[in-house]
Amino acid sequence: MRANYHTHTEFCDGRATAAEMAEAAAAKGYAVLGFSSHGPLPFPNEGNMELSRFGEYRNEIRRVAADWEGRGLEVLLGLEIEWVPGACSPRDPLFRDAGLDYSIGALHFVDLPGPGRFAVDLGGDAFEAAAEAYRGDAALLGRAVYEDYYAKLSRLIDEGGFDILAHFDLVKKNNAAEAAGQGRWFDEGSRGYLDAALGAARLLRGRDIVVEINVGGMSRGKVKSPYPSLPILRELRTIGVRITFSADAHAPEHLGVNIEAARELAAAAGYDSIAVLTKGRWMEVGIEET
C-alpha cells in the first residue's frame, strides 16, 4: 500500500497543481495522497502559503478529493505547520479549527545572535553569510546552529498538536562534507551533536506522533540519504516511535522515487512496518508492501 502525506503544490513552493499531483500519484500506484502545503506564517517568507489563500487551498484539496472518490485514490487535506516560538504553532486556532485530516509539525528556522532568524535548509550561501555575522567562526556557528535547532525541535515535540514530525534532522541539509570525514559545519558523529539530536528524539517516547522517513532532499539532489539519519532512527525504534515514508514531493516526478532508500534505512533501524493513515485511522503496513 503506497501512501504519501508530505505533498506540496503551487499554493506554496510546489511546482504543480493539486490536480496534477493527484494524477501523478494515481499513475504511480498510490492508494493515499495527503496534501501538506507550507502553512501561512505571521511574517513574509517565500515558499509559504499566503494567509489570504488558506480557504482556497482547503476548498481545492476537498474538490480534488471528491473528484477521486471511488477511483482508487484517497486524497487527504493536511498542512505542514511551522513552529516559531511566540509566533506560529500547530496548536494555533487557525490550524486547529481548519478541519484538517492531519497536520505535519515542522521546524526550519533557528535564531542566533548576529545572523538572527534564518532557515537551515536555505542554500550554503546563507550559512556563509550567517558565519560572517556570527563572530566569523564556522565551527562556532555549526555548534550554535544544531544546538538551537534541536532545542527548538524539543519544544515543538513537547508542545505537540500535530500528527507527523517532518524531516527530523533537516539541520544537516547544508552540512555535506567537502572531503571525507567531518561535515562542512559540524560533525554529525560527535558526542555534542548526537546528545542534542537523541535528546530531542527521546521526547517522542509515549507520544502519539509519527516520524517520517523523508526522501525529498534526495529527490531534489540536496542530500544523499533520507532524514533522519540511522543513529536517530535506531533511537526512535528503541523507544517505540512509529514511522511513515515521505516523498516531500514538490513536483510530480518526486512521487514514487527513492522509496527503496527509505525501506533500507527503516530495516537497518529495526523497523518492519510503517504507519499509514487511511479512512480516518492509522494502521501498520509491512515495509515491503509499500
Q: How far is CA 204 from the centre of its chain?
A: 15
Strand partners, 74: 32
Q: Which DSSP state fits 252?
A: G
Q: Indicate whether this model's pTM tops 0.85.
A: yes
pLDDT at 256: 95
Q: Which residues pair with 119 in a beta bridge?
A: 109
Of 106, 97, 88, nearest to 8 (Cα)? 106
Alpha helices for 15-123 (secondary structure H): 18-27, 54-68, 93-96
- Which stretches of the chain drop beneath a pLDDT of 70? 136, 177-181
Q: What local confidence, expressed as pLDDT, does residue 132 receive?
A: 81
According to the model, what pLDDT value does residue 125 have? 80
Strand partners, 276: 283
Hey, which residues does 230 pair with through a beta bridge? none
Residue 177: predicted pLDDT: 67
Burial class (CB in 10 A: 0-12, 13-18, 19+), 93: exposed
> How far is 288 from 290, CA to CA, in rounded Å?
6
Burial status of residue 98 (CB atoms within 10 A of its CB: 0-12, 13-18, 19 or more) = middle
Range of the domain at 149: 2-289
219-259 pLDDT, tens per residue?
A: 999 899 999 999 999 999 999 999 999 999 999 999 999 99
- pLDDT for 189 equals 93
C-alpha 70, offset from chain centre: 29
pLDDT on residue 185: 87
Task: Give the chain's length.
Answer: 290
- CATH classification of the domain holding 105: 3.20.20.140
- Which tens digits make up the pLDDT trace of 167-199? 999 999 988 865 545 788 899 999 999 999 999
pLDDT, residue 178, reads 57
Q: What is the pLDDT of residue 145?
A: 93
Distance CA 200, CA 152 (A): 9
Residue 61's identity, in one-letter code, is I
Overall domain count for the chain:
1
Q: What is the dihedral of CA 246, 248, 252, 255, to 10 degrees?
A: -20
∠ CA 132-136-137, rounded to 5° = 125
